[in-house]
Copies of this chain bind each other. A is one copy, B any other.
Amino acid sequence: MGQRIDFQTDPSKYRHWRVAYDGAVATLYMDVDENGGLFDGYQLKLNSYDLGVDIELADVVQRMRFEHPEVRCVVLRSGKDRVFCAGANIRMLGGAAHTHKVNFCKFTNETRNTFEAAGAESGQSYICAVKGSCAGGGYELALACDYIILTDDGSSSVSLPEAPLLAVLPGTGGLTRITDKRKVRRDLADVFCSTEEGVRGRRAVEWRLVDEIAPNARFDEIVAARAREFAERSPARAGVEGVQLTPLDRRFGENGAVSYSLVEVQVERAKGVATIVLRAPDEEAPASVAALHAAGANGWALRLARELDDAILHLRLNELELGVIIFKSEGDGPKALAHEAFLLEHRDGDWLAREILLYWKRVLKRIDLTSRSLVALVENGSCFAGLLAEIVFACDRSYMMSGEFEGDKRAPATLALSAGNFGPYRMSNDLTRLQTRFLGEPAAVEAAAARQGEPLDAEAASQLGLVTFAFDDVDWEDEVRIFLEERASFSPDAMTGMEANLRFPGPETMETRIFGRLTAWQNWIFQRPNAVGETGALKRYGSGVRGEFDRRRV
């Protein structure tokens, strides 16, 4: 798997999905190209999927938000006759490295969450119309939708056969959505999740596994009726015009470097460090909503979000040995604040302003969930203001320059807060990053809020508890170097586990449970000989020989 995985695509390149747009209703057909796998060694039979299929799906969902704001309901269907979706491709899973399996599950989980976010935040609901077998990851796709209709043809079923069949978990949110979203009774959930053949017909409704069963002959009619109903529940967006998500300006350089228009990724391979430099806008904030729309994907906030998102995904999947990501910024902080302020001002009145902020929310969550040690270096000349400051709070640690630095002519480091730091970019735990940070001292959130808009120097930022450490000219270089060397010397796994636990204190949500509890158990099982050993169920699948298990219970 040495090739570079690219997260950029567009409809002209899709091999696995197609969309039919019809006013407020879009129909999304999953029609996986058997021979279109991302890697060699497996065929994507029966609408099974790999990361490549999911990259296209994520692109569809994202474009729906920006390019098709008129869509109020998305109907997810199979483009194949006899199967809805067989889930993640088992041969791919059987052959993939642990790192790839885990990263694959994380990305698919993030994509499933965008279904739910589209309904909750933008009034784009998802209906899943199930005909044929809907198994494992296929049913997890359905679970991520707002409503599930199952045809009652005597054979179509929903199932989570991972545990009995493959000795792994339904790890793309399945177990969590069964108990927490659909609230299936736990003993019925136990039966369901250990039944290979799944559940069909009326029992699927009685057990809360689907919302409705439709007589097969009336399936299309009922699906269409529900789609209209869901579309009508969301306020119509008549006459809106979407914004094209044009191709990113991206160049891959020497030795891992990646340049975008506003984002620079630098790599120090020997140190295991990637540095992401973010640039503030050169241009002034849009003068009007019309100007925001005219700028479209070229506008600073949207462009930066897309580039940063791509950079993070690239590092996650293609640069496994870079254990530390440093965030730096440069440019005009007040301009960054002005751009964000414009979006915040118009988020109730303009769908695009709102969508850009919601996208930032998703990108920041993607950072939270990136299992690398994250550190912000708030240096002279930086512009961590508002939404950029939010990245500082997403980091495991932050270091800030304090006072004069010999020979450094850049403006002294400051940090600035905006209204953005107090609401719109909530984490998976549904708290803001500052609320999370100050769980033990809620008054500190108020104290910070009182200083919005002010450029805070290292002393002020330290006093407010906004950065971990501030160092002056004498200590800065050594302290940062020692930290990076030390971090590089630790076990990457211990850091992954530690960070996963420390980043999300406080309340839990379905999302934190999926990424914290379910993912951790899945990761554990993905290491177990009973699943991935030579005689494990995942390895043996399809060989006609069942897995052989070490029967000791852990």
Contact = CB atoms under 8 A, between A and B. Distances in A.
Contact of A501 (B184, B436, B518, B528): B518
Contact of A537 (B182, B190, B491): B491
B321 A498 contact: no
A376 B346 CA distance: 58
A183 B553 contact: no
A256 interface: no
A371 interface: yes
The residue among A102, A188, A491 with the most chain B CB atoms within 10 A of its own CB is A491
Contact of A527 (B193, B489, B524): B524
Nearest to A549: B491
Contacts of A550: 492
A337 interface: no
Contact of A493 (B185, B495, B528): B528
A506 to B, nearest CB: 7
Interface in A435-473: 436-441, 465, 468
A246 B221 CA distance: 71
Each complex incorporates copies of this chain amounting to 2
A501 B521 contact: yes
Which of A182, A321, A486, A524 gathers the greatest number of chain B CB atoms within 10 Å? Answer: A524
B167 A490 contact: yes
B440 A182 contact: yes
B187 A498 contact: no
A493 B167 contact: yes
B187 A494 contact: no
A167 to B, nearest CB: 3
B395 A505 contact: no
Interface string A483-503: 000110111111111111111
A163 B440 contact: no
A121 interface: no
Contact of A530 (B176, B494, B507): B494
A371 B494 contact: no
Closest 7 CB pairs of A and B: A183-B440, A167-B491, A520-B520, A179-B505, A508-B508, A175-B501, A497-B521
Given A166-B494, A492-B553, A492-B554, 17 more contacts: A102-B554, A167-B493, A169-B494, A180-B439, A180-B505, A186-B502, A190-B396, A194-B486, A320-B552, A321-B553, A371-B553, A371-B554, A491-B528, A493-B528, A508-B508, A520-B520, A527-B528
